[in-house]
C-alpha cells in the first residue's frame, strides 16, 4: 500500500546526528538512515556513501546547512543529491518532495492532545509516505496514531534502549528511528 513499507528490512532506523557516527551506521544492520547532519558542501558525498552501502537515506531538510528548507532546497536535493527521500516538519516540503519524485516523511511532535489533532490534519493535507512521531517513547499514543491514520508510523526521539524499541513496534510502529549507535546493531 505504502512503498516505504517495502523499504523496511530492519525495523531500527539509524538517526545519524553527527558525521562521526556515519561509519558506524554504514557497518550496522540498519538498511535506512535518517541523515540529520551535513552541509551543502558534503551532503552529496554523504548520500553517495550511504547509497554505496546499499542503504536508503532520508535527509532531514531542516538540518542540512546551506540548503534552505524551502521549495528550491528540496528541488536542489532531488536534482543534485538524490536521496531516497526527505524528512521535514513542514507539510509544504512534503508535497514538493513528492512532486519531485522523492519519498517524504512528515515529522510531528506529539506534546498534547491538540498536537495530535493538528498533526492528523497536517498529514491529511501533505500525504507523506510515512509519519515520524516524536517522542517515540509513548506506546499508547503510537497505538492511537496507528488507529487514526492509515499511514505507516515511525517512532522517534528519546528512545534509549531495546525495550523501548520493542514497545514502540508492539504498539504498531513500522520502525523506530534511534540516535544511539549501540542500538543500531543486533545483540
Both ends of the chain: CA-CA distance in Å?
31
Number of domains in the chain: 1
pTM reported for the whole predicted model: 0.97
Q: How far is Cα 142 from Cα 135, in angstroms, rounded to an integer?
A: 10
Residue 155 DSSP class: E
Bridge partners of 103, per DSSP, are 85
Instruction: Determine how many CB atoms are found less than 10 A away from the CB of residue 134.
Output: 19
pLDDT of 186 reads 80
Average pLDDT of span 94-109? 97
Q: What is the distance of C-alpha 46 from the center of its chain?
A: 16
pLDDT of 187 reads 63
Read off the pLDDT of residues 47-84 as tens digits, 9 standing for 90 and up. Answer: 999 999 999 999 999 999 999 999 999 999 999 999 99
Q: Does residue 10 register a pLDDT over 80?
A: yes
Q: Does residue 1 register a pLDDT over 60?
A: no
Q: Which domain holds residue 27?
A: 3-184
Q: Which of 38, 95, 41 is nearest to 64 (CA)?
A: 38
Give the CATH number for residue 12: 3.20.20.70
Burial of 73 (0-12, 13-18, 19+ CB in 10 A): buried
**For residue 29, what pLDDT band results from cuts at 50, 70 and 90?**
very high
pLDDT of 2 reads 64
C-alpha cell at 1: 500500500
Burial of 72 (0-12, 13-18, 19+ CB in 10 A): exposed
Amino acid at each position: 500500500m505504502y512503498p516505504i513499507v517495502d523499504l523496511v528490512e530492519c525495523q531500527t532506523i539509524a538517526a545519524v546526528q553527527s558525521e562521526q557516527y556515519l561509519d558506524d551506521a554504514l557497518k550496522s544492520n540498519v538498511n535506512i538512515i535518517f541523515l540529520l547532519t551535513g552541509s551543502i558542501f558534503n551532503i552529496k558525498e554523504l548520500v553517495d556513501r550511504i547509497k554505496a552501502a546499499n542503504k536508503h537515506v532520508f535527509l532531514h531538510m531542516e538540518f542540512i546547512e546551506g540548503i534552505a528548507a524551502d521549495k528550491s532546497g528540496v528541488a536542489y536535493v532531488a536534482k543534485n543529491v538524490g536521496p531516497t527521500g526527505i524528512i521535514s516538519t513542514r507539510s509544504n516540503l512534503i508535497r514538493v518532495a513528492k512532486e519531485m519524485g522523492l519519498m517524504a516523511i512528515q515529522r510531528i511532535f506529539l506534546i498534547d492532545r491538540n498536537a495530535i489533532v493538528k498533526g492528523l490534519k497536517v498529514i491529511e493535507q501533505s500525504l507523506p509516505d510515512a509519519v515520524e512521531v516524536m517522542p517515540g517513547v509513548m506506546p499508547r499514543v503510537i497505538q492511537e496514531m496507528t488507529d487514526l491514520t492509515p499511514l505507516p508510523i515511525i517512532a522517534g526521539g528519546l528512545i534509549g534502549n531495546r525495550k523501548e524499541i520493542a514497545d514502540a513496534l508492539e504498539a504498531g510502529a513500522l520502525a523506530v528511528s534511534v540516535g544511539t549507535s549501540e542500538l543500531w546493531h543486533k545483540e
